[in-house]
Amino acid sequence: MKVLVVDDSIVFRSQISASLSGVESVEVVGTAPNGRIAIQKLQQSQIDLITLDMEMPEMNGLATIKEMKRLGMKTKIIVFSSQTVRGAEAALDALSAGADDVVAKPSADDMNFEKAQKMIEDALVPRVLQFLKSGTRSSKTQATSSTSLKSSTTSTSILPKKKLKQFLPKAVVIASSTGGPSALEVIFSQLKCEPKIPILIVQHMPPVFTQILAKRLGELSGIPVHEATNNQKVSPGHVYLAPGGFHMLLASEGGQLVIKLNENELRNSVRPAADFLFETAGQIFKHQLLGVVLTGMGEDGAAGSKYIYELGGGIIIQEKETCVVFGMPGAVFMNDTYDDIMNLEEISSYLRSVIV
């Protein structure tokens, strides 16, 4: 995989390049101090992936992404953004415009070069490798050209499994990672309803970013969406998003559903981990719980989906063709612990039919 590092800071260009220098099958083939020079290099060479700073002179990250899409470039894009409200908003704008994943920039104010480089390496390398494993073509091309699923198709008309048409859940839990913010925006922009049941979401994102995502989903849907807080009461008709850096669990105290947050060890290399939410919600709602697993790298959500499925609850996974990375829904698929495969529009339509 050939990688171009784009950042106006020579320090960050050096740290990012160094963090990828020892990764097998990955080669940093160049750097650029702004988007304009990056576009020129992309036109001159075959580059599979770029890391892209959001705040640069001449052409910033968002403008670069829009120009790449205008030119029809299929290069994968991982954006780097500061852990501020402004940075989080810019990152979500970038994901909506076509970026594939986001990494939070370490603050240069309170850490030395080596510590910052290690933080970049820990966050960036798994995200690069997810595209190396799945290929660097667009998700649509990749899906249609790769080995097909089960019955040589993911069509929901071919692979409905059991009970979802008659299924009326009392709560919905959703897991997502790479590509998840954009997928969630598509789903919630089409809900436009007043749910009678709670919806709880785990999206793998850093702190601050989840706060901005919750705000956006609320604005898109008209549904109250909260970045969850510890001991927060869960009410029907509300949506709760796990805050970055905290596992979110569901508990029942005196007949009242409450959210419990903790900073316990990573699970599936992530925190928050959807498996904790799925399992604790399953203990409460049992067969009356619906789980949805969207695009994302890794296997988070697979154990939780199995738990819900074996209780008699419902599980939907996002179809491969519309995933940025099929890792999370693919893990559920391989376990055969799902009820249906749907694209984002179908998921939104189905949710609307069961939550009102």
Does residue 259 contact residue 232 with C-beta atoms inside 8 Å? yes
Residue 188 has phi, psi (to 5 degrees) of -75, -30
Write the CB contacts of 197 (distance below 8 Å, at least 6 apart in sequence).
169, 170, 171, 172, 236, 237, 355
Residue found by looking up tokens 């990152």 in the block:
91
Does residue 82 contact residue 171 with C-beta atoms inside 8 Å? no
Does residue 62 contact residue 91 with C-beta atoms inside 8 Å? no
User: Has 204 been annotated as catalytic?
Assistant: yes
User: Has 300 been annotated as catalytic?
Assistant: yes
If phi over 0 gives left and psi between -120 and 50 gives alpha, with beta otherwise, what is residue 72? left
* Cα-Cα-Cα-Cα dihedral sign, residues 52, 56, 57, 61: positive
DSSP state of 179: T
Cis previous bond, 236, omega within 30: no
Residue found by looking up tokens 């798994």 in the block:
126
Question: In the chain, at which residue ranges do the beta strands (DSSP E only) sit?
Answer: 2-6, 27-32, 49-53, 76-82, 101-105, 171-176, 199-203, 225-227, 239-241, 247-253, 256-262, 289-293, 314-318, 340-342
User: Has 226 been annotated as catalytic?
Assistant: no
Helices (H), 190-232: 209-221
Q: Which of 300, 305, 339, 340 is catalytic?
A: 300
Q: Which of 48, 53, 176, 204 is catalytic?
A: 204
CA atoms within 13 A on the CB side of 111: 15
Q: Which of 19, 177, 221, 305 is catalytic?
A: 177
Residues carrying an active site annotation: 177, 204, 300
